Structure 1
Amino acid sequence: MGDWIVVPIVLPAVMAALIVLAVRHYILLQRVFSITATVALVAVTLSLVIFANGNGPEMYALSDWPAPFGIVLVLDRLSAMMVFLTSILGLGVVLFASSEWDKRGKHFHALFQFQLMGVNGAFLTGDLFNLFVFFEVLLIASYGLMLHGAGADRLKAGMQYVVVNLTGSALFLVGVGMIYSVTGTLNMADLAIQVANIAPGDAALLRAGALVLLLVFCVKAAMVPIHFWLPGTYANAPAPVAALFAIMTKVGAYSVLRVYSLAFGDNAGDMAWLAQPYILPAALITIAVGMIGVLAAKRLNNLIAFAVIGSMGTLLTAIGLFTPESISAGLYYLLHSTFSAAALFLIADLVVSRRGQFGDSLNTAPVFHQSGFLAILFFIGAIGMAGMPPLSGFIGKLQILDASRDSDAMVWIWSVILVTSLMCIIGFGRAGSVLFWKSASAEGEIVVEGAKWPVLPIIAACGMLGGLFALTVFAGPISSYLNGTADQIFDTSQYIRAVLGDGALAQFGQ
Structure 2
Amino acid sequence: MSGWAALPMQQLIIAPVLLPLATAATLLLLGDKRRVAAAALNLTSTLAGLLLAVALLLWVNERDAATAFGVYLPGNWPVPVGIVLVVDRLSALMMVLAGGAGLAALLFSLARWHRAGVHFHPLFQLQLMGLYGAFLTADLFNLFVFFEVLLAASYGLLLHGGGGDRVRAGLHYIAVNLVASLLFLIGVALIYGVTGTLNMADIAQKLSQVPDSDRGLLGAGAAILSIAFLAKAAVWPMNFWLPPAYAAAGAPVSALFAILTKVGVYAVLRLWTLCFPASAGPWALFGGEVLVWGGLVTLAFGALGMMASQRLDRLAGFSVIASSGTLLAATGFDAPALSAGALFYLASSTLAGCALFLLVELIERARQVELAPRSDDDDDLPHFSDAPAPGDANLDDEEQALIGRAIPAALAFLGLAFLLCTLVVAGLPPMSGFIGKLAMLSALLDLAPGEGTVAGRTLFVLLIVSGLLATTALMRVGIRHFWAPQNRPSPRLRVTECVPIALLLAACTGLVVCGEPALAYARATAQALHRPQHYIDAVFAARPVPGVAEGAPP
Normalization by structure 2: what TM-score?
0.86
Please point out which of 22, 27, 42 is paired with 1:14: 22
Q: Does the 8 Å CA contact 1:321/1:404 hold for their aligned counterparts?
A: no
Please point out which of 105, 117, 120 is paired with 1:108: 120
Tell whether 2:484 aligns with 1:438: yes
Aligned to 1:353: 365
Identity %: 42
Q: Does the 8 Å CA contact 2:426/2:471 hold for their aligned counterparts?
A: yes
Displacement of 1:24 in angstroms is 3.1
Matched position secondary structure for 1:164: helix
Displacement of 1:410 in angstroms is 2.4
Aligned to 1:459: 499
Aligned to 2:396: none
Return the alpha-carbon distance in structure 1 between the equivalents of residues 31 and 510 of structure 2.
36
Displacement of 1:357 in angstroms is 8.0
Q: Does the 8 Å CA contact 1:355/1:368 hold for their aligned counterparts?
A: no
Amino acid at match of 2:53: T
Tell whether 2:460 aligns with 1:414: yes
Q: Does the 8 Å CA contact 1:23/1:29 hold for their aligned counterparts?
A: no
Please point out which of 406, 422, 425 is paired with 1:385: 425
| CA offsets 1:103-153 (integer angstroms, 9 cap, x no match) | 011111111100000011000000011100000000000000000101111
Matched position secondary structure for 2:75: helix
Aligned to 1:50: 58
Matches within 5 A, 1:16-31: 16-31=24-39
Aligned to 2:550: none
| CA offsets 1:32-73 (integer angstroms, 9 cap, x no match) | 001111111122111101111123212111120111110110
Tell whether 2:494 aligns with 1:486: no
Amino acid at match of 1:148: H
| CA offsets 1:458-491 (integer angstroms, 9 cap, x no match) | 0001111111101111110011111111111122
Return the alpha-carbon distance in structure 2 between the equivalents of residues 272 and 137 of structure 1.
32
Please point out which of 163, 167, 170 is paired with 2:179: 167
Tell whether 2:14 aligns with 1:2: no
Displacement of 1:193 in angstroms is 0.7
> Aligned-pair RMSD on alpha carbons?
1.7
Aligned to 1:500: 540
Return the alpha-carbon distance in structure 2 between the equivalents of residues 125 and 267 of structure 1.
24
Aligned to 2:266: 254
Displacement of 1:12 in angstroms is 0.6
Please point out which of 64, 76, 79 is paired with 2:91: 79
Return the alpha-carbon distance in structure 2 between the equivalents of residues 203 and 368 of structure 1.
66
Return the alpha-carbon distance in structure 1 between the equivalents of residues 349 and 210 of structure 2.
38
Return the alpha-carbon distance in structure 1 between the equivalents of residues 232 and 95 of structure 2.
18
Q: Does the 8 Å CA contact 1:346/1:461 hold for their aligned counterparts?
A: yes
Please point out which of 396, 409, 421 is paired with 2:436: 396
Amino acid at match of 1:469: T
Largest Rg, 1 or 2: 2
Amino acid at match of 1:197: Q
Return the alpha-carbon distance in structure 2 between the equivalents of residues 368 and 272 of structure 1.
59
Q: Does the 8 Å CA contact 1:392/1:472 hold for their aligned counterparts?
A: yes
Equivalent residues, number: 489
Unpaired runs of 5+ residues, structure 1, are 359-366, 504-510
Aligned to 2:313: 301
Aligned to 2:214: 202
Amino acid at match of 2:479: S
Return the alpha-carbon distance in structure 1 between the equivalents of residues 246 and 336 of structure 2.
32
Aligned to 1:508: none
Q: Does the 8 Å CA contact 1:58/1:75 hold for their aligned counterparts?
A: yes
Aligned to 1:506: none
Normalization by structure 1: what TM-score?
0.93
Matched position secondary structure for 2:238: coil
Matched position secondary structure for 1:274: coil
Displacement of 1:250 in angstroms is 0.6
Matched position secondary structure for 1:421: helix
Is the alpha carbon distance of 1:502 and 1:137 closer, same or farther for their aligned partners in structure 2, counting shifts above 3 Å?
closer
Return the alpha-carbon distance in structure 2 between the equivalents of residues 35 and 501 of structure 1.
37
Tell whether 2:26 aligns with 1:39: no
Matched position secondary structure for 1:59: strand
Matched position secondary structure for 1:355: helix
- Greater than 6 Å deviation, 4+ residue runs: none
Aligned to 2:388: none
Matches within 5 A, 1:172-321: 172-321=184-333
Q: Does the 8 Å CA contact 2:79/2:542 hold for their aligned counterparts?
A: no
Displacement of 1:260 in angstroms is 0.8
Q: Does the 8 Å CA contact 1:207/1:271 hold for their aligned counterparts?
A: no
Return the alpha-carbon distance in structure 2 between the equivalents of residues 128 and 326 of structure 1.
27
Return the alpha-carbon distance in structure 2 between the equivalents of residues 185 and 502 of structure 1.
17
Q: Does the 8 Å CA contact 2:71/2:542 hold for their aligned counterparts?
A: no
Return the alpha-carbon distance in structure 1 between the equivalents of residues 182 and 512 of structure 2.
41
Higher helix share: 1
Return the alpha-carbon distance in structure 2 between the equivalents of residues 50 and 377 of structure 1.
29
| CA offsets 1:371-424 (integer angstroms, 9 cap, x no match) | 332111111111111111000111111111112221412221111111121111
Q: Does the 8 Å CA contact 1:354/1:369 hold for their aligned counterparts?
A: no
Matched position secondary structure for 1:94: helix
Return the alpha-carbon distance in structure 2 between the equivalents of residues 43 and 420 of structure 1.
35
Please point out which of 315, 324, 338 is paired with 1:326: 338
Is the alpha carbon distance of 1:94 and 1:255 closer, same or farther for their aligned partners in structure 2, counting shifts above 3 Å?
same
Matched position secondary structure for 1:63: coil
Q: Does the 8 Å CA contact 1:214/1:275 hold for their aligned counterparts?
A: no
Highest relative contact order (Cα 8 Å, sep 6+), 1 or 2? 2
Displacement of 1:496 in angstroms is 1.1
User: More displaced, 125-134 or 399-408?
Assistant: 399-408
Amino acid at match of 2:264: G
| CA offsets 1:320-373 (integer angstroms, 9 cap, x no match) | 212211111111010001011001111111112232289xxxxxxxx9993332
Q: Does the 8 Å CA contact 1:368/1:445 hold for their aligned counterparts?
A: no
Tell whether 2:129 aligns with 1:117: yes
Return the alpha-carbon distance in structure 1 between the equivalents of residues 439 and 328 of structure 2.
14
Displacement of 1:446 in angstroms is 5.3
Matched position secondary structure for 1:370: helix
Aligned to 2:151: 139
Aligned to 1:92: 104
Unpaired runs of 5+ residues, structure 2, are 1-8, 371-406, 544-554
Q: Does the 8 Å CA contact 2:348/2:432 hold for their aligned counterparts?
A: yes
